[in-house]
Amino acid sequence: MANNVIEELRVQAREAKEPSISPVPSIRLGGVDPLGLRQINFDLMDQVLPGLNNVARHIRPFMVVTWAWRRAIAIAQGSGRASVAVDAQLRDFVDRIEVIYVWSQLLRDPNADLPGREVIGPILKARQYSFGGEAWKKRREIRENSTSLMAAINYGPGLRSMGWLTRHPENPKVMEPAAWANLALDALDRALGDDLDHDAFSSFGKVMVKEDEVLRWGKAWALEKYTKSEQRIFTEALFGSRSEQLRRLGVELAIAASPTSSNVAAVRRRMAGLPSRLRVPDTKLATVANWRRVQCRQLFRLCLETVFFWVTLQLRDGPMSSQRLVSRFMNQTTGARKFATTAKWVGHHYDESPGPVGLLQQVESALQGDVGQYAPAVMQGLAFCLMGGFQDGAVIERHDRLPLKRARSEFEQRLDTKPFEFMRHVLESWVFAQHTYWSIGRGLADARARGKTILRLKVVLEDGGWTLTPGVASGSFPQPTADRLRTALSLAHECGFIDQVEI
């Protein structure tokens, strides 16, 4: 970002004919984690559903990528050459198969649940595509870390964590397919039949593929079409004998919570302990406790991000001091003047009956309504997080990520203070300080790595009080971090263990 802005100023200086006020630099605003709280969410999720993410929800892409690597290695071994080029041949082949697969499914269904629709858009409009040359090389580069099925944000982590692919010991860019997956991969061979002899599936180098061919292949390896052998072998990797214990227990708990409904929100509530009446064996009590920690952390983070969003809306009318912001927030809650101590005021908002998931939904509902509804929902959520029964888990939570243990300690130190002073601490320490620390820290990290050039800092302190950073209209709209449950339920459904998943 800094280099871009400086270059803009240099251009303006070279072109200037006389003294003038420089226009505001074109700085790109962004940042989805304004307070730096989300990493703990991910760490806690790893105690329940490790190896999963919120994208890799279908069996067939796991199979296609693993099959592509098996096919690429077989072609290399059958070529008789002493060596092959890893990127120009092996990975090029796998990328080709990925693109053909996504292309084929988007032709069948434009809304297919697969990444890469935008990047593959030009191919969809064409009636054929040449996999080779500079255009294909550039498309591969664009896809690598974003829309590739093997990218870290898509199916890549699951492919490796479940053991479908492992890195070659001598060349980490080469992935070796699991031998135990061969029966499932053989099903793809049979599905494609004689088409396996097509250059797209049988050779390295430049290949021309036509739309009518892709349409035919799309039916053979359809996203929603998987064989019994694929289901059986995937089950073993997901939560069977080949699964790590934490994921096995987590997926089993999700299935146990889905006997009458596979609605994601309903399952989320049942898995999180009280007020749910779901009965589980002793072996899964720790899993329930870990899932409850995930939801409590979700609630705490959403409450603080809602406070931050609320602040940005107040600052639209101009700078405000901490005192004015705290007074306005407390006036929108209940009991602000009735209780003399923080303990009694926060206790007034405490209600454990909805449970963490119910309170999370209350905050989400408040965010859909008038801004005056934010504060009461936030205070109920914070009260639950600060006063409810809470046990430390196995995750070591970084102090600067504001773990609940730290927040509860700071709350307990202020039990006898006035509610206004506690709320001021929440605003200045838990919201503004966190936002400034993480916005600047991430910006510096990006600059050192020559990464993203975005401005994350939304609020700054000036002589007149807190004010929005120039160009900022409001903070990011708060949303809970997706917790991988939809992925677990979707995969369990495709393995044949639960009914259709309802979002």
- Judgement on whether residues 224 and 332 belong to the same structural domain of the protein: no
Instruction: Please tell me the distance from the alpha carbon of residue 423 to that of residue 383, in angstroms, as a whole number.
Output: 12
- Judgement on whether residues 216 and 316 belong to the same structural domain of the protein: no
Give residue 84's domain range. 59-231
On whether residue 262 sits in a domain, the answer given is: no
Q: Which residues on adjacent β-strands are paired with residue 131?
A: 207
SS3 (DSSP) at 123? helix
On whether the CB atoms of residues 153 and 56 are closer than 8 A, the answer is: no
* Phi, psi of 394, deg, nearest 5: -85, -15
On whether residue 127 sits in a domain, the answer given is: yes
- Judgement on whether residues 336 and 188 belong to the same structural domain of the protein: no
Of residues 442, 443, 407, the one with CA closest to residue 307: 407
As for how many domains the chain has, the answer is 2
- Judgement on whether residues 348 and 429 belong to the same structural domain of the protein: yes
- Judgement on whether residues 387 and 461 belong to the same structural domain of the protein: yes
On whether residue 137 sits in a domain, the answer given is: yes
On whether residue 286 sits in a domain, the answer given is: no
On whether residue 273 sits in a domain, the answer given is: no
Could you tell me the mean pLDDT of each successive run of 10 residues in the chain, 503 residues long? 60 79 68 89 95 96 98 92 88 97 96 90 90 94 92 95 95 94 95 96 96 96 93 97 97 92 91 93 95 96 97 95 97 89 96 96 96 96 92 80 95 96 98 94 75 81 92 84 96 92 83
**Where among 208, 231, 254 does a domain terminate?**
231
On whether residue 389 sits in a domain, the answer given is: yes
On whether residue 417 sits in a domain, the answer given is: yes
Residue 266's pLDDT is 94
On whether residue 175 sits in a domain, the answer given is: yes
- Judgement on whether residues 332 and 463 belong to the same structural domain of the protein: yes
- Judgement on whether residues 322 and 452 belong to the same structural domain of the protein: yes
- Judgement on whether residues 345 and 463 belong to the same structural domain of the protein: yes
Instruction: Please tell me the distance from the alpha carbon of residue 86 to that of residue 93, in angstroms, as a whole number.
Output: 10
Of residues 292, 174, 273, 258, the one with CA closest to residue 486: 258
Q: Which residues on adjacent β-strands are paired with residue 109?
A: none
Residue 1's pLDDT is 42
State the maximum Cα–Cα separation within the chain, in Å, rounded to a whole number: 84
SS3 (DSSP) at 138? helix
